[in-house]
Amino acid sequence: MRKGFSLLAIAAVLAQGPAVADMPVQHRYGSDQGFCRTPSALPSLGREEVSEQQVRPVPRGRYATGRETVEGVMAPLPPAPPPPPAMADSGSGGDVSVTARRADGPSSATSRDKRVAESEEAPAGSTSSRRPGPYPRPGPRPQAGLLTAGEHDDLLNPELYADYVRRSDLGQSIRGLPRVDTGRVLTVVVHDRAGRPVPFVPVEIACSDGNRLQLSTMADGSVAFFPGIDRLSPQIRVRAGASDWRPVSVSGGAGGQRVDFTLGNEARAAQKLDLMLVIDTTGSMGDEIRYLQAELGSIVDALRARHRNVDIRVGFVFYRDIGDDYVTATVPLSGDINAAQRQLQQRYAGGGGDYPEAMDQALIRAAGQGWRPDAVKSLLLVADAPPHDEQVGRSWLAAEHLRASRVHIVPVAASGVAATAEYVMRAMAAATQSRYTFLTDDSGIGNSHAPPAIDCYLVTRLDALLRRVIDSQLSGRRVEPDRAEVIRTVGEYDSGRCVIPERFGQG
């Protein structure tokens, strides 16, 4: 589908070289691979080449990010007002209660959460989807603190995620996308003698056939292995760092398992953050890109203020699709945040001839970046469409390599996301011990956002939400919003967990 409007600006962009021919997915899940499965090598995409493009003139000046005034390439912006009250849903809906609240006041409205009508949604298992209209709703001038969003952690809600996977059936109908069973997880947790989590510890598993698999702990001292996608044998041995091997019997049924290790070394808090933004820049993403340009400074400034001793690097992979003026354009990770902001300001939305995009190539580029081994690593995947069906396997392969490098994939689902895109991005988030985030209509900005297939969540400002997610990744503890930050509540939410509905599993 030819995508809609773009920014009124032109920038120097990078052009993709010769298109990569379609390749068969090399990773499979059959018994001939043995146990302790590791992903196959990533394909080579070739070199990105600079294209001769006109450069838009962008006024330089001092502008507000929400926390401070910095030098940059945007015209001065007024302070961000509080978001509008939540939009009341109309019509009959499901059994989910909704409480609307202004960010600066008490509860102001109550309504019922409404899913998109059956006639407007893609049917379960379908790879087609309803697209929003070509014209966005008029909205305020782009600035930080206006976009609204929710988030969901499928690792904290394994029963609901398993039911979602069962109902969608996309894991069986799309080649290359395995089923991530969040209800059957082997979690290894490493603490020091004082009980503090120890990050970045290599945890190795030896399977019964001699194959081995190694991942490292996150900032919270944990690392999650999935017996299904990792192909763990019924009997394994586990060790953390230089500890002795420990035999473990892997349960064949539902339910999580936990193995704890205590290491003598004193735990140290993370001191580095590598933040990569992988952004769909096709035409329908124009509204998200414009606001993201205003949001980034606010997010990074808040992280700097809270983590004053953390060395932060930022990079980008911008992507479109085969046949556009570029497929991927990479900006390597760098500590020059102002330069990174200028790179973002130069991007504009355009191209895109159909719904799916070249997400696979973008994630492959991101997986090949110079991630630091001693940094917390976070990848924000800002997108409104899935990869092409035949490239879902390559996208998942790239996600597996990012997981092996200890990168959290944080999807930011924009307007237009439907069944396939949500499924793919939620699987990536769960596998990398991350959360699925999604824009909502509460801001009144941009195209309509389809409600996610999620039972409970809180709606807050996007910039505040992403700061909390990244802050959680840095600190190793889940950070919840203050009551005043919550604009709207869907379902029964309890610190990231949804209260299971009474009629759960019936129909």
What CATH number does the domain containing 292 carry? 3.40.50.410
Q: Which of 402, 291, 410, 286 shows the shortest CA–CA distance to 348? A: 286
pLDDT at 194: 92
Which residue in the block uniquely carries the two structure tokens 């014209």?
Answer: 135
Asked whether residue 233 falls in the same domain as residue 145, the answer is no
Residue corresponding to tokens 């069944």: 419
Which pLDDT belongs to residue 71? 36
Q: Per-residue pLDDT for 116 more than 90?
A: no
Task: Read off the DSSP letter of residue 265.
Answer: S
Structure tokens belonging to residue 60:
């330089």
Specify the higher pLDDT residue, 487 or 28: 487
- How confident is the model at residue 171, as a pLDDT? 64
**Above pLDDT 90, what percent of the chain?**
52
Q: Order of strands, edge to edge, in the sheet holding 257-263? A: 222-225, 186-192, 257-263
The pLDDT, as a whole number, for residue 255 is 83
Please, which pLDDT band fits residue 266 given cuts at 50, 70 and 90? confident
Query: Can you tell me the distance from the alpha carbon of 134 to that of 447, in angstroms, rounded to the nearest whole number?
Result: 8
Residue the block writes with tokens 């505040």: 464
259 and 281 housed in the same domain: no
Residues 298 and 426 in one domain: yes
Q: Contact 331/14 with Cβ under 8 angstroms?
A: no
Verify that 384 and 446 share a domain, yes or no.
yes
Q: Which residues pair with 149 in a beta bridge?
A: 439, 460
Q: Looking at the predicted structure, is the pLDDT value of residue 76 above 80?
A: no
Q: Compute the mean pLDDT over every residue in the chain, rounded to the nearest whole number.
A: 77
Q: How far is CA 284 from CA 141, 276, 287, 288, 420, in A?
A: 18, 21, 8, 9, 17
* 214, 243, 263 - which closes a domain: 263
Residue 50: per-residue pLDDT: 54
DSSP assignment of 363-432: HHHHHTS---TTSEEEEEEEESS-B-GGGHHHHHHHHHHHHHTTEEEEEEE-TT--HHHHHHHHHHHHHT
**Within a domain: residue 415?**
yes
Q: Is the confidence at residue 356, as pLDDT, over 50?
A: yes
Compute the distance between CA of residue 174 and CA of residue 397 in angstroms, rounded to an integer.
Answer: 14
Instruction: With a cut of 90, say whether residue 427 has pLDDT above it.
Output: yes
Query: Do 231 and 287 belong to one domain?
Result: no
Q: Quick one: 358 and 429 in the same domain?
A: yes
Using DSSP bridges, classify how beta strands 148-152 and 257-263 pair: parallel, antiparallel or unpaired: unpaired
**What mean pLDDT comes out for the span 158-163?**
93
Q: Do 352 and 442 fall into the same domain?
A: yes
Take residue 146 and report the two structure tokens written for it: 């206006």
Q: State the pLDDT at residue 70.
A: 34
Report pLDDT digits (tens) over 285-321.
877 778 877 787 778 888 878 888 899 999 999 999 9
Residue 68: the pLDDT is: 35
CATH code, domain with 244: 2.60.40.1120
Q: Is residue 123 part of a domain?
A: yes
Q: What is the pLDDT of residue 157?
A: 96
In a domain, 26, yes or no: no
Total tally of structural domains belonging to the chain? 2
Q: Binning pLDDT at 50, 70 and 90, where does residue 88 land?
A: very low
> Is residue 299, in this structure, part of any structural domain at all?
yes
Domain membership flag for residue 459 = yes
pLDDT for the residue numbered 486: 98
pLDDT at 121 over 50: no
Nearest partner of 356 among 331, 317, 327, judged by Cα: 327
Using one digit for the tens of pLDDT, what is the confidence trace for 227-262?
999 999 999 999 999 999 999 999 988 889 999 999
The pairing of strands 148-152 and 436-439 is: antiparallel
149 and 202 co-located in one domain = no
Specify if 85 maps to a domain: no
Q: Is residue 34 in a domain?
A: no
Asked if pLDDT for residue 277 goes beyond 60, the answer is yes
Least confident piece of the model among 4-18, 32-46, 447-461, 493-507: 4-18
Q: Which of 229, 246, 263 is the last residue of a domain?
A: 263
Which of 151-160, 211-220, 277-286, 479-488 is predicted least confidently?
Answer: 277-286
Domain end position, chosen among 263, 289, 322: 263
Quick one: pLDDT band at residue 140, thresholds 50, 70, 90?
A: low
* Higher pLDDT, residue 273 or 131: 273
What is the average per-residue pLDDT within 48-61? 47
SS3 track for 87-149: CCCCCCCCCCEEEEECCCCCEEEEEECCCCCCCCCCCCCCCCCCCCCCCCECCCCCCCCCCEE
pLDDT of residue 258: 97
Beta bridge partners of 438: 150, 413
Note the pLDDT tens digit of each residue in 442-465. 988 777 888 899 999 999 999 999
Candidate from 89-103, 263-277, 322-336 with smallest mean pLDDT: 89-103
Both 297 and 371 in one domain: the answer is yes
191 and 172 within one domain: no
Instruction: Give the residue-averaged pLDDT of 167-188.
Output: 84
- Residue 37 phi, psi dihedral angles, 5° rounding: -70, 140
- Per-residue pLDDT band at 505 (split at 50, 70, 90): low
Which residues are registered as beta bridge partners of 455? none
Residue 49 confidence class, pLDDT cut points 50, 70, 90: low
80, two tokens = 């961000």
Q: Do 116 and 223 fall into the same domain?
A: no
Within-domain flag for 70? no
Weakest mean pLDDT among 192-196, 295-299, 407-411: 295-299
Is 314 found in the same domain as 255? no
Residues contacting 199, CB < 8 A, separation 6+: 217, 218, 219, 220, 221, 267, 268, 270, 376, 476
| Strand-pair category, 186-192 with 48-50 | unpaired
pLDDT band at 141 (very low <50, low <70, confident <90, very high): low
Domain span holding position 237? 186-263
What pLDDT shows up at residue 148? 94
Asked whether the predicted pLDDT for residue 69 surpasses 90, the reply is no
pTM: 0.79
Residue 166's pLDDT is what? 86
For CA atoms 170, 222, 304, 467, give the dihedral sign.
positive
